[in-house]
Structures are given as C-alpha cells and as structure tokens.
Structure 1
Amino acid sequence: MEQEREQLLERLQAAFHYTVACLCEEVAEDKEIQFSKQAIAAISEITFRQCEIFAKDLEMFARHAKRSTINLEDVKLLARRSNSLLRYITQKSEELTLNNLEQKGKRKQKSGTAKGKRTSEEQMDPLALESEDSNLV
C-alpha cells in the first residue's frame, strides 16, 4: 500500500515536472530566453511543494468550517494575499455561476416543451393559440 502511494507520488511529480518544462519552453520562446535543466527542476520542485502546502491549507480551512468538502470560499481564502488572483477566481466563479444558470434554464425549457407544456412566450402569443385551435378543426 505504501509502495503504491510512493509510486503514484513519483508519477505525479514527473507529470508536474513535464508540465513545468512545457510552460518554461513557452515562456522561453515568447521572451527569447533559455532555462537550464537545473532551473526547470528547481521551479518544478518549489511549485510542487507549494501545491502540497495549498492542498493542506484548503483541507484545514474546510475542516475548520466543520466540512469534509473544500469549496470556493476555501479557495478564495487561500488566494486572499494575491489581489489579482482573488479577482481572477471571483470573476471565473461568477462566469461559471451564470453559465450554470443558463444551462439549467435551457434544460427546464426543454423538459417543459417536451412534456407538452407551453413556454412563457407561447402562452403570451395569441397567434400561436389560434394556429393550434385551427389545426383541431
């Protein structure tokens, strides 16, 4: 069990290192600079350790609130020291909320019309009622 955990951690670190290397490559092309392998390894290691700290902090925030699930408020609390990151997270969460509300509205509208219910527009349109009545004759 412990050996499996260590193998998973090593695989995660390797994937993390690969991603950091790809990001460094993008930055290097954009800024016309180069990163040494040692620099990439150091950035990868520091970032991985910081992510571990973030994960533990998020867990503690949720536990302090007597919850077993980490939520958006925990993430905002974690990002509180970086105004730009906090603004970005807040903006994205608002976008997701609006998108979710739109999706729910579309699903409700589809289920309402699928069951033979009229949408609010159809209920207000007398021509729609007239055409339906003429089909019955």
Structure 2
Amino acid sequence: MAEPVIDEALRERLKSALWFSIGKIVDEEILQLDVNATPQFIGALTEMVWAQLENTSRDLESFARHAGRSTVNTDDVLLLARRNEGLGELLRAFVDEENAGKLADKGKGKGKGVAKK
C-alpha cells in the first residue's frame, strides 16, 4: 500500500508546532535544572521526535491493516507498547479505566431504571 503523501506546507506547520511545544517543555526543564539549552539542541530533539512519530504512525497503521481494519484502535497501541513493560502497564490501566467509565455511563442510560414512587 502506498504511503499517504501530506502536503509539504502542512508537514512544515506540524513540525513547527512540534518544535514550539518541545521548546516550551525544554524551557520549563532548564529553569528547574538551572542549565542552558541551545536552539540547535531543541532542533535536534525536534527532528528525533518527528522521526519517532513517523515510525510509530507507520507501525500503528500496519497493525490496523494487518487486522483488516482501516482505523487504528487501542489494541494497536497496546501492541506497539509490547516491548516496554512500564508503558504497556500504564496504557492497559488507562484503557481499563476508560472502559470501566464507559460501562458505568451505560448503566445510567435513559429509561433503564424503575421509577420509584
């Protein structure tokens, strides 16, 4: 399957937004650690994160496609995290918590209870 092509202008806007966000995080950390970070460091960190995002997105799309789906779901994300036990545990706990919340919300649905007099 051919890799989707994103508009170069959109790509640059996304990378700029990533650079900005990483710059903000670095700024917060350097204040706490009392160190300096150069713009080159922030740029290199941005490039590394961008490359990781591209690889991650390709893997997630491949997992979904292999399962016969066109949409990435939580199973794909959990599969991606399979080699990182700590991250996998955090993600599973989050998914379980979200699923429990959805089940609780379903119980509060319309007309499901008996009216009390």
Q: Same fold (TM over 0.5)?
A: yes
Please identify runs of 4+ aligned residues in structure 1 that moved more than 6 A.
Answer: none
- Give the CA RMSD over aligned residues: 1.7
Partner of 1:91: 93
Q: Deviations over 1:72-115 (max 9, x none)?
A: 11101111121111111111111111111122222x1xx217xx
Q: Quote the offset at 1:20 in angstroms.
A: 0.7
Residue 112 (structure 1) aligned with residue 105 (structure 2)? no
**What is the CA–CA distance in structure 1 between the aligned matches of 2:82 and 2:31, rounded to whole Å?**
32
Point out which structure has higher relative CO (alpha carbons under 8 A, 6+ apart): 2
**What is the CA–CA distance in structure 2 between the aligned matches of 1:87 and 1:30, rounded to whole Å?**
29
**What is the CA–CA distance in structure 2 between the aligned matches of 1:19 and 1:84, rounded to whole Å?**
25
Identify unmatched segments of 5+ residues in structure 1. 123-127, 129-137
Q: Quote the offset at 1:46 in angstroms.
A: 0.5
**What is the CA–CA distance in structure 2 between the aligned matches of 1:102 and 1:21, rounded to whole Å?**
40
Partner of 1:51: 53
- With normalisation by structure 1, the TM-score equals 0.75
**What is the CA–CA distance in structure 2 between the aligned matches of 1:94 and 1:30, rounded to whole Å?**
34
Q: Quote the offset at 1:118 in angstroms.
A: 2.2
Partner of 2:63: 61
Partner of 2:34: 32
Identify unmatched segments of 5+ residues in structure 2. 1-5
Q: Which amino acid aligns with 1:88?
A: L
Q: How many residues align?
A: 112
**What is the CA–CA distance in structure 2 between the aligned matches of 1:30 and 1:102, rounded to whole Å?**
41
Q: Quote the offset at 1:31 in angstroms.
A: 2.2
Identity level (%): 35
Higher helix fraction: Structure 1 or Structure 2? 1
Q: Which has the larger radius of gyration?
A: 1
Partner of 1:135: none
